[in-house]
Amino acid sequence: MIRRPFAIVRGVPDSFAHAVTDSEPDPPLSVELAREQHGSYVAALEAGGYALVHVEPDESHPDCVFVEDTAVVLGEHVVVTRPGHESRRGEVDAVAARMPGSARIHRVQPPATIDGGDVLIAGTRVFVGLSRRTNRQGAQAIAAIAEPQGMTVTPIEVRSVLHLKSGLSAVDDRTVLWHPRTCGRGELTGLRVVEIPGDDPEAANVVRLADGRMLVGEHHPHTAEIVESLGFEVVEVDVSEIARADGGLTCLSIRAR
């Protein structure tokens, strides 16, 4: 029996050094440092009130630590994704197997592709990024599960980042942090949109802890200030090595309240 709120996390495999990246990391990715940072992240989730569910790392999947991309929890339903990058498709089964027994599992069928990093949930609003990884059929697959539960699904074009959540995340049910390189602001209708300045869209990627505090990347001091000014207590964690593999804070867990 898995109690809510829970967070599913997956360890860093030795093969992480060969993770998919937009540009060749120089120096090469450090597995040791990524593991250390991942450990701090997981500890922060637990201290923030999430019951942890651990999935064993899989050496044949260098990106398996980015567990967010493999499943989307929508109420009692779970959409097991079909990741957009072929090398990542085999990550999903081990994660699906760790979902609560009561969950209603749905599997995305070809030609749909979805990375969980493209699905932002804010209250009853669900935004699905159309990106290099998630296509329209993927957005429809999410809508087919979310809409009957009273949620509104809005597909949204992703600009120059990997995933929608690379530069957009929710701090509460109606407030999002947004970086302009991520998507159009006008498409986030009905939400309070807080712009995050600077060159790095990942500065807008934060995680809500179960106790209401906010997890913010240590290398984004402006974000911490902005989130504090919104009235939240901030917990900082260093995920710089994870960022070098094109990941942010949200991508390291699947969280359900």
Binding site residues, ligand CIR, CB under 6 A? 19-21, 63, 66, 68-69, 85, 88, 117, 163, 166, 245-248, 251
By beta-carbon proximity to ligand CIR, the closer residue of 35 and 101 is 35
Q: Indicate the DSSP class of residue 35.
A: H
Q: Which residue is nearest to ligand CIR (CB)?
A: 117
Structural contact between residues 42 and 254, judged by C-beta atoms closer than 8 angstroms? no
Evaluate the omega torsion of the peptide bond into residue 201 and state whether it is cis, within 30 degrees of 0: no
Give catalytic status of residue 179 as yes or no. Answer: no
SS3 242: helix
By beta-carbon proximity to ligand CIR, the closer residue of 166 and 182 is 166
Closest approach of Cβ 106 to ligand CIR, in Å? Answer: 19
By beta-carbon proximity to ligand CIR, the closer residue of 169 and 214 is 169
What are the residues whose beta carbons fall under 8 Å from the beta carbon of 229, sequence distance 6 or more?
none
Closest approach of Cβ 201 to ligand CIR, in Å? Answer: 11
The per-residue DSSP string of 171-184 comes to EETTEEEE-TTTS-
Closest approach of Cβ 236 to ligand CIR, in Å? Answer: 19
By beta-carbon proximity to ligand CIR, the closer residue of 199 and 231 is 199
Catalytic: which of 38, 61, 163, 179? Answer: 163
Count helices and strands (H / E) in the chain: 5, 15
Q: How many whole angstroms separate alpha carbon 53 and alpha carbon 65?
A: 13
By beta-carbon proximity to ligand CIR, the closer residue of 19 and 44 is 19
Closest approach of Cβ 155 to ligand CIR, in Å? Answer: 17
CA atoms within 13 Å, Cβ hemisphere of 55: 28
Distances (CA, A) of 46 to 79, 137, 155, 224: 24, 35, 32, 20
Give catalytic status of residue 64 as yes or no. Answer: no
Closest approach of Cβ 22 to ligand CIR, in Å? Answer: 8
Residue 222: other Cβ atoms inside 10 A: 13
Catalytic residue set: 163, 251
